[in-house]
Homo-oligomer: A and B are copies of this chain.
């Protein structure tokens, strides 16, 4: 199968690399040249343009950082060059409006489209351990399945509408954001009562919250370790805004998400945009005059 990967950030490179290891015929393209070096060594073909990458592929995977980039790629060659019947699988985290617009555009061109946002970090992609949430017409989802099985440990079928997959990704994301906010608030309370944060972390993770979300973020909060971000405050805000935009689109009040939004904005106002978003604990501490 001829596959193109457009967008060679860390996730794009990891997915392309995994596909190459699995023997797929992979064309790669990045809007800013320079990211494709190792992939070419591993056997990828570099396309000079989005159109060149899209025109010669049965499935095009995009791994783009935001809706603006996705729109730029779509209108900058992808939609015009993709063959009828070929598939675009958008694997980034995108808003439901962008996904809906793109679905229409591809349908009008006789092309197929799935939203397939991923769960997990680039290393998981390299190891074939991602989760992939897929939404789109059943035939397109089936056509992508062999590919997704190469990179994903588990594929979640969100149904026939690509927007549904986007919504699942955003909802999963805001459950995490709310968990981080709740942790931030809880650590400020136990600090007020002079409790050892490590002790409190053990209560949480030794009991109701042993999973990675609480284990990872409570660790960062106990250590006040925010300067080597796994995921930044700015990116957190972007995802929360996509969730709120989805909520606007379907008239849905999300009060907890609104609280996180304000906390993220406060953190950014205080200069923490590029720190790990566990820094919400510090922002809450500021609000409580603990910093």
Contacts and interface: CB of A to CB of B under 8 A. Distances in A.
Contacts of A101: none
A157 B199 CA distance: 7
Interface string A177-211: 01101110110111011111001101110111111
A287 B258 contact: no
A35 to B, nearest CB: 27
A36 B185 CA distance: 41
B167 A195 contact: yes
A58 interface: no
A250 B273 CA distance: 12
B164 A174 contact: no
Interface residues of A, number: 81
A29 to B, nearest CB: 29
A269 interface: yes
A48 interface: no
Contacts of A268: 251
A271 B255 contact: no
Given A157-B199, A207-B172, A288-B266, A182 B178 contact: yes
Determine the main DSSP class of A at the interface with B: helix
Contacts of A253: 261-263, 265-266, 269, 287-288
A219 interface: no
Nearest to A202: B156
Contacts of A261: 253, 258
Interface string A239-279: 00101001110111111111111110110111100000000
A212 B208 CA distance: 5
A96 interface: yes
A170 interface: yes
Contact of A171 (B189, B271, B289): B189
Contact of A167 (B163, B167, B175, B189): B189
Interface of A: 96, 119-120, 131, 133, 154, 156-159, 161, 163-164, 166-168, 170-172, 174-176, 178-179, 181-183, 185-186, 188-190, 192-196, 199-200, 202-204, 206-214, 237, 241, 243, 246-248, 250-263, 265-266, 268-271, 286-289
13 contacts: A167-B192, A168-B195, A175-B186, A178-B185, A179-B182, A189-B243, A189-B250, A208-B211, A209-B211, A210-B211, A253-B262, A253-B288, A255-B263
Given A119-B203, A167-B195, 5 more contacts: A158-B196, A159-B195, A172-B203, A172-B204, A189-B252
